[in-house]
Amino acid sequence: MASTLSSTLLASLLLLFTTPPSLTSQVQVGRSVTLPKSDVDLLEFPLNLEYLEAEFFLFGSLGHGLDQVAPYLTMGGPPPLGAKKADLDPLIRDIVTQFAYQEVGHLRAIKTAVKGFPRPLLDLSSSTFAKTMNDALQRNLEPPFDPYANGINFLLASYVIPYVGLTGYVGANSKLMSATAKRLVAGLLAVESAQDAVIRSLLYERARMKVEPYDITVAEFTERISDLRNKLGSSGVKDEGIVVPPAMGAEGKISGNVIAGNQYSLAYARTPQEILRIVYGNGDEHTPGGFFPKGAQGHIARSYLGRA
């Protein structure tokens, strides 16, 4: 029953939110369109997260990244550190492969609107994810967490990434001035939200499962990861696990939390500063680290470096 429900939900979400092939023509973005400088900066900033997601999903599912799939999109940026193919079952591999190619599309879509920047140095090594999990659980896991070891681990590692990007799109939307930029961000947000919903659905189906060999449930992993992101972001609760106290669930009536939202079931918004604090893994937008050992790129991200 659960498997049938999950399969139906996943099929519906993927059908509804898959990036339409005609995205570029629909949003009518291109070098002939002049965008306000603030819109350019806000559109460039999420390229950092889109690069991160594209490389993680591509390597996890296919064993190679943008340098083979779409080298022109890297603009000569360095290859990611430590990324590799994950040991995934056929269903999860198929879903992650879909995500991977969607992220390639996102990079292309943004770069039809703005020039962008070369791929930043990304650290997708097992040790980076292991540190994240250790920080979340407030203890050193033994053996160290390896996102590429199996499907559950990869889903938990995936839980760490797309949600941060979607909260950034929610936060950016109200600050955009042009209709062109707003249309583009709306399309990106829809697919990022769907990816997060699929990941959360797969994890929710396994909520009570113990993650081996740690004797910690999937639900607790998601709760602790969300708590860590709230702590690093330093702006209150903008993150929730897949199971919450009923008072925090939809309408304060249910503990199942397959889609995170505020008291009105609206998506949370994050600023670029909050996102940098999270992806740097240290709560400080001025100090590179975590997934971006040399810092994120673009005017917004670079403006914080050296200003501690």
Q: Where are the domains of the chain?
A: 2-18+35-304
- For residue 12, is pLDDT > 90? no
Residue 237: count other Cβ atoms within 10 Å of its Cβ: 13
For the stretch 255-292, pLDDT in tens is 999 999 999 999 999 999 999 999 999 999 999 999 99
Q: Band of the pLDDT at 26, cuts 50, 70, 90?
A: very low
- Average pLDDT on 168-172 reads 96
Per-residue model confidence (pLDDT) at position 19: 41
- For residue 28, is pLDDT > 50? no
For the stretch 36-69, pLDDT in tens is 999 999 999 999 999 999 999 999 999 999 999 9
Contact criterion met (CB below 8 Å) for 138 and 217: no
Chain-centroid distance, C-alpha 220? 19
Distance CA 32, CA 19 (A): 23
DSSP-H helix ranges across the chain:
2-17, 23-27, 37-44, 47-62, 66-69, 90-113, 126-137, 151-159, 162-173, 179-205, 218-233, 272-279, 299-304
Asked whether the whole model's pTM tops 0.85, one would answer yes
Q: Band of the pLDDT at 10, cuts 50, 70, 90?
A: low
Q: What percent of the chain lies above the pLDDT cut of 70?
A: 89
Per-residue model confidence (pLDDT) at position 24: 35
- For residue 170, is pLDDT > 70? yes
Supply 295's token pair.
């810092």
Per-residue model confidence (pLDDT) at position 162: 84
Per-residue model confidence (pLDDT) at position 308: 54
Locate tokens 């079931």: which residue?
265
